[in-house]
Amino acid sequence: MADIKEITVFSVGDANSLKTWSNVPYFFTKTLELKGYKVNRVNIEENRTLFSIYKYTAFAFLKLIFRNSNHTYFRSKLNYNLTNKKIAKALEIYPKTDAAVFLTFSFSAPKSFNKKVISFGDWTYAYYIANFLNREPKWFEKNCLEREKQHIEKADLVLGLFPLSSTFIKNNYTNANVHYLGNVINSNRELNKEQVLLAKQKSKKLLFIGNEKYLSGALELIETFKKIKNNHSELELHFIGLLENQTGIKANDIYYHGYLNKSVVAENELYYKLLSEALVIINSTKDWGGFSSTTEAMYFYTPVITRPYDEFTETYGTQIEFGYYIGENNTLSSCVDKMLENSNDKQLKLMNAAHEAVKDFTWSNYIRKMIDLL
């Protein structure tokens, strides 16, 4: 990529903020800069006023008829047209751009742009509809899906963040130059192995990371915690991303920390203190158990208890050495019991296995692979 010196990165949200999309735009752009590239950041987030108007008019109407629709203003033709103007204007402002990177599959560069175009995302809208909503696309979604298809098929390079979603692109988009380069650890924290392992070996803290989308898993964990607490009085349960009024449950040794913003020093400190001290990270939510937060926790030597959802098993295997899968023969309660009853040697083995499984998922490695492909 010797001929590429300046890269313009388009993200849905501020790429300078750690709050945007699980920190992905922040680390993507920062790593490019660390590798010597000039990076222009362009926020293509939708207009919030128009988003709200759409939410309480067109979207509300669609929701009445199609309950599992999420066709928000972001996917509307109006937002598409306005965002395209924003993209074109940005490329005029940065005429020396050698490559345009879109951290979304929903938008791309105009036809007049004759430099490299890279599309990066977790999954396409079509994949989301098929695998998370488990249905066929509705009539009002098809224009959006066609636009996304055109972007992917015309991009010079397409990067999927997950293996199965990348395979889906390969199988459903004509001649898409798609690659899966592994996942990433969204952390800017130095890791002191000895200190972390020592803290975890003494720990009785169970950790859950996730917002209201994972409420079913949180409630299941609370009920399990109450039962296990009878035999393990020193046990603590910590929630990052949820508050007490969201679960409606208050109990001894359950701590709600809410959303922790890594951009705020005190909240960043608390986040990584909990990650470093947790005995295990648990998310039993069906279909998706918080992949990014789990992967980051694993980097900090944290064993895992989760249900074996597809992208996780495709990445880490149907049998894991760094924790326990919940299944027919392993309830959440029995998995937690196993974790608590492990010998120090067994626990240390699980901790080291967790770190080993993700240690190469660094942003530096990811961007290097992307550069090699270009």
Give the pLDDT score at 374. Answer: 84
Point out which residues pair with 38 in neighbouring strands: 6
Residue 57 clears pLDDT 90, i.e. is over it: no
Give the pLDDT score at 222. Answer: 97
SS (H, E, C) the chain: CCCCCEEEEEECCCCCCCCCHHHHHHHHHHHHHHCCCEEEEEECCCCHHHHHHHHCCHHHHHHHHCCCCCCCHHHCHHHHHHHHHHHHHHHHHCCCCCEEEECCCCCCCCCCCCCEEEEEECCCHHHHHHHCCCCCCCHHHHHHHHHHHHHHHHCCEEEECCHHHHHHHHHHCCCCCEEECCCCCCCCCCCCHHHHHHHHHCCCEEEEECCHHHHHHHHHHHHHHHHHCCCCCCCEEEEECCCHHHHCCCCCCEEECCCCCCCCHHHHHHHHHHHHHCCEEEECCCCCCCHHHHHHHHHCCCCEEECCCHHHHHHHCCCCCCEEECCCCCCHHHHHHHHHHCCHHHHHHHHHHHHHHHCCCCHHHHHHHHHHHC
The token pair that represents 95 in the structure block: 């005429």
Q: What is the pLDDT of residues 287-326, one digit of tens each?
A: 999 999 999 999 999 999 999 999 999 999 999 999 999 9
CA atoms of 305 and 328, how far apart (whole Å): 14
CA 254 to chain centre: 25
Residue 2 clears pLDDT 90, i.e. is over it: no
The token pair that represents 266 in the structure block: 């005190």
Domains in the chain, start-ordered, CATH in brackets?
6-180 (3.40.50), 193-358 (3.40.50.2000)
Name the pLDDT band for 71 (thresholds 50, 70, 90): confident
Residue 70 clears pLDDT 90, i.e. is over it: no
Give the pLDDT score at 103. Answer: 98
Give the pLDDT score at 60. Answer: 72
Give the pLDDT score at 1. Answer: 53
Mean pLDDT of the chain: 94
Residue 62 clears pLDDT 80, i.e. is over it: no
Give the pLDDT score at 45. Answer: 96
Residue 171: phi and psi, rounded to 5, are -85, -20
CA atoms of 117 and 12, how far apart (whole Å): 17
Mean pLDDT over 244-255 rounds to: 95
Mean pLDDT over 256-283 rounds to: 96
Give the pLDDT score at 260. Answer: 96
Q: Which residues of 20-59 are buried (b: 16+ CB within 10 A; e: fewer)?
A: bbbbbbbbbbbbbeeeebebbbbbbebeeeebeebeeebb
Give the pLDDT score at 58. Answer: 76
Name the pLDDT band for 328 (thresholds 50, 70, 90): confident
Mean pLDDT over 56-68 rounds to: 74
Q: What is the pLDDT of residues 82-105, one digit of tens each?
A: 999 999 999 999 999 999 999 999
